[in-house]
Structure 1
């Protein structure tokens, strides 16, 4: 409950850019009136895992960007990565976002059978 309230208030304040008392009252009221769904502990565990991946993705993205600048990456391929089972649409979006966040990879397609088609740049030359 508190996590939902904080998230909703954060979004509200980012959208309105106003920290006046009236706007805080409106934001709290809206955050409390919006419906919320039940979230199982397994989903929270998945969200925490994705949060950790997001934290790790930032330095990884910088590292990959410097690698692309310093060494040629002209080999490319498409690989399959299996998505964890029973992902909510929000977690699927975050998975795709995190894969695409790094410069060497981009998700081409999310297949119905639970796989991501990922385009990757690799070092070396095409043969």
Structure 2
């Protein structure tokens, strides 16, 4: 089941990169998604995928709220924090984590450390 989610993730990335939904591009995208190497001994669980997808859906209204906050309230403080990567993350789930963090306007992942940390740049309102 998670193998299909990996293929769908690859297709979604392909369509985000190309922004082209012609028949030829769909065939190319499906071909690339199937030909890219993948791990047959997948460690990921459906529960992890569903949790990541739910966080992605929650990030959409959060992004709008944060964008309005940045527009109407000054955010002058910056910080770089280290966030721990959740346990048992495959490259596909790590990509989704980074995408969700970067999707919101106040945060961006600066670097992924192989030892299990995200380096995240945040902006916030000035503390009184």
What is the alpha-carbon distance in structure 2 between the residues aligned to residue 60 and residue 16 of structure 1? 28
What is the alpha-carbon distance in structure 2 between the residues aligned to residue 89 and residue 95 of structure 1? 10
- TM-score, reference length from structure 1: 0.71
Structure 2 vs 1, CA of residues 90 and 72 (structure 1 numbering), >3 Å: closer, same or farther?
A: same
Give CA deviations for 1:24-65 in whole Å, capped at 9, x if unaligned: xx89xx7xx87973545x521111010000000000000000
Match of 2:22 in 1: 17
The alignment yields a C-alpha RMSD, in angstroms, of 3.5
Match of 1:21 in 2: none
Deviation >2 Å, runs of 4+: 14-18, 33-40
Match of 2:70 in 1: 68
1:112 aligned to 111, 114, 122, which one? Answer: 114
- TM-score, reference length from structure 2: 0.71
What is the alpha-carbon distance in structure 1 between the residues aligned to residue 81 and residue 61 of structure 2? 23
Match of 1:86 in 2: 88
Q: How many residues align?
A: 115
1:4 aligned onto 2:4 = yes
2:53 aligned to 48, 51, 54, which one? Answer: 51
* Structure with max Cα Rg: 1
Structure 2: gaps spanning 5 or more residues: none
